[in-house]
Amino acid sequence: EADIYQTPRYLVIGTGKKITLECSQTMGHDKMYWYQQDPGMELHLIHYSYGVNSTEKGDLSSESTVSRIRTEHFPLTLESARPSHTSQYLCASREDTQNTEAFFGQGTRLTVV
Instruction: Report the nearest approach of another protein to the CB of residue 104 (Å).
Output: 3
| Rounded-to-integer distance, Cα 28 and Cα 69, Å | 14
Asked if residue 111 binds another protein (CB under 8 A), the reply is: no
Kindly write out the interface string for residues 58-97 of this chain, putting x where it contacts another protein by CB under 8 A and - elsewhere: -x------------------------------x-x-x-xx
- How would you classify the pairing of strands 31-37 and 43-49? antiparallel
Asked if residue 98 binds another protein (CB under 8 A), the reply is: yes
Among 19, 24, 32, 33, binds another protein (CB under 8 A): 33
| Rounded-to-integer distance, Cα 91 and Cα 73, Å | 11
In this structure, the chain runs to a length of 113
